[in-house]
Amino acid sequence: MNECRYRSSLVMCAVASLSFWGPQVMGQANAQPTAPVSAHSASDSTLPAFDVITIKPNNSDERPSIDFDGGNFSATNFSVKMLVLFAYDLKDDQLFGVPKWASELHFDMKAKVLDADPTVLQQLSNDQKRVIEQTILTERFGLTFHRETKVLAVYELVVDKGGPRFQPSKIEAGQRGANGLGAGSLHTNNHNGNADMTSTAVPIASLVNVLSRQTERIVVDQTGLTGRYDLNLTWSRDDGGTPATDQNSPPIVTAIQEQLGLRLRPAKLPVSTFVVDHVVLPSGN
């Protein structure tokens, strides 16, 4: 799928289905914390590894961005917290134990994979790239952590009365929709205080990730919809930025109900969380 190109600005990327794979909602609220977790699992032992990692402070107002392409990784004006969220595919509500400096201090991070098979690098999935990125946190910031289940406030995405206002997509893999997007693609765009989402043949998980980012709360798919859909949505942003010039655009919670026939329902559910046990400022390069 190509819901969102991996090379992206963290702020602008609309992260589609892969969740960037979404929080894991647990069946039991009293599950026990696991032991500290390393960056690699046995199945990851054959992945390429970074041979060179450099970390430098960044005190500018430059927009944060991240890129991993052709064996070269760079994160510009990134905090440790931002990289943890990205590399471990977490929502902000899932992350605990981050010291103040790890949120406030920003860095330029660069890493290279030397002498790797170009074919292997080209075929890396986004999941595999994240596993490789995790070594920056473990090797240079000394990150250790454990997983723990906590009951958190979430939104459940459900079908509103009357049913969904969209049908399964007729666009197949390798094809493009009338909007020019290939199957599995999702784009968001901000303009004049409003925002819109355009997608072609994406799963509901793609929408869930957009909603989670916009509402700043974990969203859990309870729709029961398993197909792929062409989902289009327009809403007014409520982020303290420029007021919307088009007063006809509703808030996103109202927009999904009016335009998609879906609804966000507040709930509290046990969620797998990420608890930082140890993290330190990096030593010199």
Exposure letters 121-147 (e unless 16+ CB within 10 A, then b)? beebebeebbbbbbbbbbebbebebeb
Closest by Cα among 121, 137, 164, 152 to 216: 152
Per-residue pLDDT of the chain (285 residues; tens, 9 = 90+): 333 334 443 433 333 323 333 444 544 333 333 334 444 433 455 889 999 999 999 999 999 999 998 899 999 999 999 999 999 989 899 999 999 999 999 999 999 998 888 888 888 888 899 999 999 999 999 999 999 999 999 999 999 999 999 999 999 888 898 888 999 999 998 887 899 999 999 999 999 999 998 898 999 999 999 999 999 999 997 654 444 445 568 999 999 999 999 999 999 999 999 999 999 998 766
Say what the pTM is: 0.72
Give whole-number Cα distances, 156 to 26, 116, 163, 223, in Å: 14, 43, 16, 9
